[in-house]
């Protein structure tokens, strides 16, 4: 690892100071070429770059928009490699890169279709799924390599190429590898997380613009060699010191595995000038397994069991969803009217059943120069529905959601060695009203916002089964987003403060931190004769105390608990990042304020947060 650090630093120093030598030598070279009257070789010119590669977002494409964007070459947030970091620590994990995650706050479902309920790793799939369709004039590679301290690493590789001006191919490979941060037997190589995925998509638009199509394939395999967290008595909290790798853990030799295979195909055909017919087909195969083949070693961890020799639980859900719709565009309106048919087949330790999910819907987007309005309504035969309206202008945003969401498959049924349930829950009612005010000038960005939730028949997991609240829950969130740019943007100060509150009916049912702060103070400039952008700063994260959701490795899901109090914490990270041509590199010290090696805090009950560690990473664009 030291050799890699020294090598990368040497390359950066050479490239940086080499700029001056290159400029001084350039005139001499050109004069010599003129004297010799040689012909300039055009192949030495930089033809391809940021201006020759663009993309359209999947969301815009499905809304019939045609705007292509250029690549992001800024230094902002490239040092955030884990999902909690990318999401401003609004998610908890198990204290390691690639571990299962859970939102600290209530989240509304992001789809009206029936869901499996296996959600602790879905965020990883969302982060690597195809969200962009490229248009490249040359082969394009986006390479991210991250070397984390304490045996953590991550690789993101994306290759895109136009076969011709009508066809584009994209291939992406992602990999995460993390050693155990607690209870490790060996100093190196005692794996906790092994995750890999491969993604491939094809994007096509015909010459006459009548036909457009994409096919997207994803294979995701996530393996967790779990620990069950540290072995401690809750009554002994708070701990005087943290042992990390020397901690005794609650589980040994257990294996969690989650696989997801997804195939999506979309075809859009132009019937008339502003009228389109489309078909969208999605196939998904989710497989979850929990294996404890030496159950006698871990018998104290389980409250109950049928087989006291071994556990081999599994949960499988296959889904086939087909949507047929008609959509159109005009100068002021985009519309989409569709029918959605879903077929689901699930297996739970030998039990098998089928479900169907049918609904119709319509989406309308009203576009004006100063604002736009998007409304979406969907309804099922069971009377479950979703109505969402979004208004957005330069200075004000508002949204309203009213919906009845049916229970997820995992909430309905499960059968395993340790837990078993067959629930008949009512659909959950959700009412959400949001508003946001935006004020911006050259030096200041101020955006206060509010989210108001009303939830009825709320379904929550308690570890050995699910429960449905019999009272209406009110949950409110007030957010202040303040950004300052000082001294001609040399000093930047970004802040987001959340204050959350709820009705008494949410006590012991919906737990969350009352205060949450995420701040970033950094210096931004361009060094070496305006050729190398840099950023240097610190990230401050604060979360007040609360009874955070715990993690159950048997079911691979988080559950509500009211015994283990997660103390409040204030965390400092420091970072330095720079850019040389198309290469961006960063150094980041996580949890810099952990001055005592035995200091720490819990990010999830029984799971200590990541201890102090130095991360190094690069992000490199290749265009030829």
The domain that holds 606 is classified in CATH as: 2.40.170.20
Spatial contact of 183 and 191, defined as CB atoms under 8 Å apart = no
Please give the Cα distance from 17 to 38 (Å, whole number).
29
Residue where the block lists tokens 């965390």 = 571
| Contact call for residues 276 and 270 (beta carbons, < 8 A) | yes
Instruction: Return the structure tokens found at 391.
Output: 């208004």
Closest CA to 292 of 348, 251, 231: 251
**For residue 168, what pLDDT is reported?**
94
Phi/psi class of residue 518: alpha, beta or left (left: φ > 0; alpha: ψ in -120 to 50)?
A: beta
Helix, strand or coil for residue 617? Answer: strand
Do 365 and 470 fall into the same domain? Answer: yes
365 and 409 in a single domain? The answer is yes
Considering the domain architecture, whether residues 140 and 5 belong to the same structural domain is answered as no
Verify that 362 and 241 share a domain, yes or no: yes
Mark whether 73 and 146 lie in a shared domain: yes
Task: Enter the pTM of the model.
Answer: 0.89
- Please give the pLDDT value at position 446: 97
Q: Which domain holds residue 347?
A: 46-246+254-622
In this structure, the answer to whether residues 227 and 343 fall within a common structural domain is yes
Gyration radius of the chain's alpha carbons:
26
Q: Are residues 1 and 77 in the same domain?
A: no
Closest CA to 145 of 1, 314, 16, 321: 1
Task: Please give the helix or strand (H or E) that residue 361 lies within, else none.
Answer: strand 351-367
* Same domain? 105 vs 34: no
At 12 the pLDDT is 39
Domain count, the chain: 2
Q: What is the pLDDT of residues 270-327, one digit of tens each?
A: 998 889 999 999 999 999 999 999 999 999 999 999 999 999 999 999 999 999 999 9
Q: Are residues 550 and 484 in the same domain?
A: yes
Residue showing tokens 């079911």 = 555
- H/E stretch holding 15: helix 2-36
For 370-381, what is each residue's pLDDT tens digit?
999 999 999 999
Average pLDDT over residues 139-154: 95
Distance linking the first and last C-alpha atoms of the chain: 29
- Say yes or no: 233 and 349 in one domain: yes
Among 43-52, 265-274, 349-358, 388-397, which stretch is predicted with the lowest mean pLDDT? Answer: 43-52
Q: Quick one: 72 and 33 in the same domain?
A: no
**What's the pLDDT score for residue 28?**
43
Indicate whether 567 and 482 sit together in one domain. Answer: yes
What does each C-alpha distance from 273 to 243, 280, 364, 437 come to in angstroms? Answer: 68, 21, 18, 38
Going by pLDDT thresholds of 50, 70 and 90, the confidence category of residue 37 is very low
Q: Which of 131, 259, 144, 252 is nearest to 194 (CA)?
A: 259
């Amino acid at each position: 690892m030291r050799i890699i650090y020294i090598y990368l630093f040497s390359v950066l120093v050479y490239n940086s100071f080499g700029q001056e030598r290159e400029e001084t030598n350039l005139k001499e070279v050109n004069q010599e070429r003129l004297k010799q009257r040689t012909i300039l070789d055009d192949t030495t010119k930089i033809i391809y770059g940021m201006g020759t590669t663009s993309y359209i977002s999947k969301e815009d494409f499905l809304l019939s928009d045609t705007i292509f964007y250029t690549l992001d070459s800024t230094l902002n947030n490239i040092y955030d490699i884990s999902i909690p970091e990318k999401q401003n620590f609004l998610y908890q994990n198990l204290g390691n890169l690639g571990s299962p995650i859970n939102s600290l706050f209530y989240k509304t479902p992001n789809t009206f279709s029936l869901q499996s309920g296996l959600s602790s790793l879905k965020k990883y799939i969302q982060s690597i799924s195809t969200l962009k369709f490229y248009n490249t004039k040359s082969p394009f590679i986006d390479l991210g390599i991250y070397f984390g301290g304490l045996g953590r690493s991550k690789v993101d590789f994306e290759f895109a190429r136009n076969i011709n001006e009508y066809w584009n191919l994209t291939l992406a490979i992602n990999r995460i590898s993390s050693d155990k941060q607690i209870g490790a037997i060996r100093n190196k190589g005692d794996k906790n997380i092994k995750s890999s995925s491969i993604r491939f998509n094809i994007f096509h638009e015909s010459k006459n613009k009548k036909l457009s199509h994409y096919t997207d394939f994803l294979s995701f395999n996530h393996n967790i060699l779990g620990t069950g967290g540290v072995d401690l008595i809750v009554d002994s909290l708070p701990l005087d010191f943290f042992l990390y790798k020397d901690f005794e853990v609650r589980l040994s030799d257990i294996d969690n595995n989650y696989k997801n295979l997804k195939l999506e195909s979309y075809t859009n055909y132009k019937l008339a000038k502003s009228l389109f017919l489309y078909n969208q087909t999605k196939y998904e195969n989710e497989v979850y397994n929990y294996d404890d083949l030496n159950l006698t070693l871990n018998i104290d961890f389980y409250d109950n069991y049928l087989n006291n020799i071994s556990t081999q639980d599994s949960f499988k859900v296959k889904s086939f969803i087909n949507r047929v719709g008609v959509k159109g565009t005009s100068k002021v309106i985009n519309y989409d009217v569709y029918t959605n048919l879903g077929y689901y087949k699930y297996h739970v330790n030998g039990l098998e059943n089928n479900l169907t999910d049918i609904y119709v819907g319509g989406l309308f987007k009203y576009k004006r120069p100063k604002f736009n309005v998007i409304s979406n309504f969907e309804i099922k035969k069971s009377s479950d529905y979703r109505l969402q309206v979004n208004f957005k202008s330069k200075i004000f945003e508002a949204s309203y959601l009213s919906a009845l969401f049916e229970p997820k498959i995992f909430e309905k049924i499960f059968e395993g060695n340790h837990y078993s349930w067959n629930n008949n829950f009512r659909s959950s009612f959700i009412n959400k009203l949001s508003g946001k005010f935006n004020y911006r000038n050259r030096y200041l960005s101020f955006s206060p916002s509010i989210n108001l939730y009303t939830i009825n028949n709320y379904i929550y997991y308690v570890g050995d089964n699910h429960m449905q609240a019999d009272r209406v829950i009110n949950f409110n969130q007030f957010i202040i987003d303040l950004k300052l740019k000082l001294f001609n943007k040399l000093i930047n100060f970004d802040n987001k403060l959340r204050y959350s509150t709820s009705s008494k009916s949410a006590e012991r049912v919906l737990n969350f931190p009352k205060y949450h702060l995420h701040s970033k103070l950094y210096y931004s400039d361009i060094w070496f004769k305006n050729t190398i952008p840099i950023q240097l700063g610190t990230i401050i994260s604060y979360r007040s105390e609360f009874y955070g959701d715990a993690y159950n490795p048997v079911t691979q899901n988080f559950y509500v608990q009211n015994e283990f109090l997660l103390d409040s914490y204030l965390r400092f990270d420091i970072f330095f990042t720079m850019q040389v041509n198309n290469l961006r590199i960063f150094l980041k010290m996580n949890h810099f304020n952990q001055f005592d090696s035995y200091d720490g805090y819990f990010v999830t009950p029984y799971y200590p947060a990541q201890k102090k560690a130095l991360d190094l990473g690069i992000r490199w664009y290749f265009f030829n």
